[in-house]
Amino acid sequence: MRIPARTTTLAALILALGLAGPACKKEAAAPGGTAAAEGGPRMAVNKDSFGSLADGTPVDIYTLKNKAGLEARITTYGGILVSLKVPDRAGVLADVNLGFDTLAGYLGTHPYFGAIIGRYGNRIAKARFAIDGVEYGLAPNNNGNSLHGGIKGFDKVVWKAEAIQVADGVGLRLTYLTKDMEEGFPGNLAVKVVYMLTNANELRIDYEATTDKKTPVNLTNHAYWNLKGEGNGDILGHVLQIEADAITAVDSAANLIPTGEIVPVAGTPFDFATPHAIGERIAQVEGGYDHNFVLRSGGGKLALAAHVEEPVSGRIMEIWTDQPGIQLYTGNFLDGTVVGKDGKAYQKHYAFCLETQHFPDSPNHPNFPSTILEPGQTYRTTTVHKFSVGIPIAK
């Protein structure tokens, strides 16, 4: 089973005058494009110690570099993407991923920065679901609901790791066996996640899982992005386009549990079918954006899901996925109490998340695409973050 799985003189003038509006999105090219030219930086993957847990379990961190000089750092604790450095239009690298300098930060309280999320990403209502008439109870760790796999989800375990180097990139293969009834979920679930940093300036994440009992599975990564550079102000000026015409309606801004209804976004603040600055209409959304968008592709094939551009730096990130949904979250609960890299306090809206996924609470909504994995089937899904630079022009 596969679970979806110009630059112009006018533009330069507008940029110089500070009048740039939303970016003009070029026609998207599929991931796996032309690699960086030979003769530049060399690909590399290096392993270092990142510390240890209280029980002495060692934690490592891997640094991946591609031929274009992009650098990703990933730790075995939670499979966390610790940093990702990408260039702006002048070629200056910046870390565009919120997080911490040391393991201690990740062992403390934080909102899932950069982590692999599972066994079930997003919410399950009332922390329970049923399979074949058998009800399973989960940890109610979010307003009486289950969020992101429970109290000790995949974000809080140490994964086994193996470095990878192939012709077009370097990567890290992570594996973890989550036991039957761990956090209340049935079945022994063997999980493999592969991060690849390609020479086409893509961060590709491949997920795979098998089980010995029927169980819900919904894996994602919870990176917090700021294309200006982490800690460098809010993301309200980032220009976003999402390939979706609908969202899954929620019961309230506080609870965020799907009602089961799929509602069109046309003419609402949720309409990102054409590019809009994230902050343009956010005041009209109670609590800010934290909603699942129903992707036009329907899942099952790798397709463009979202396009984001930061007008000042020119950094562009495209997200491609074979999942049917993507969660837009705009850092609504960041309030400055979390102090990240270089002592930077992360304030409200200092990051956005675009989490590729099946729909929240799918096990309790038969009309949603199924997330139930059965013995003998293999869960596979891929998400690609594709980075480039451009020059913004007015609408």
Map out the domains of the chain as residue ranges. 9-389
Question: Measured between alpha carbons, how far is residue 363 from residues 37, 177, 380 in Å?
Answer: 47, 22, 18
The continuous run of DSSP H or E covering 76 comes out as: none
Per-residue confidence of the chain (395 residues) as pLDDT tens digits? 444 343 333 233 223 323 333 344 445 677 765 444 455 678 999 999 999 999 999 999 999 999 999 999 999 999 999 999 999 999 999 999 999 999 999 999 999 999 999 999 999 999 999 999 999 999 999 999 999 999 999 999 999 999 999 999 999 999 999 999 999 999 999 999 999 999 999 999 999 999 999 999 999 999 999 999 999 999 999 999 999 999 999 999 999 999 999 999 999 999 999 999 999 999 999 999 999 999 999 999 999 999 999 999 999 999 999 999 999 999 999 999 999 999 999 999 999 999 999 999 999 999 999 999 999 999 999 999 999 998 654 44
C-alpha to C-alpha distance for 48 and 61, rounded to whole angstroms: 5
Q: Which fold has domain 9-389?
A: Beta-galactosidase; Chain A, domain 5 (2.70.98)
Query: Which residues form the catalytic set?
Result: 222, 355
DSSP per position, 226-251: -TT-TTSS-STT-EEEESEEEEEEES
Provide the whole-model pTM: 0.90
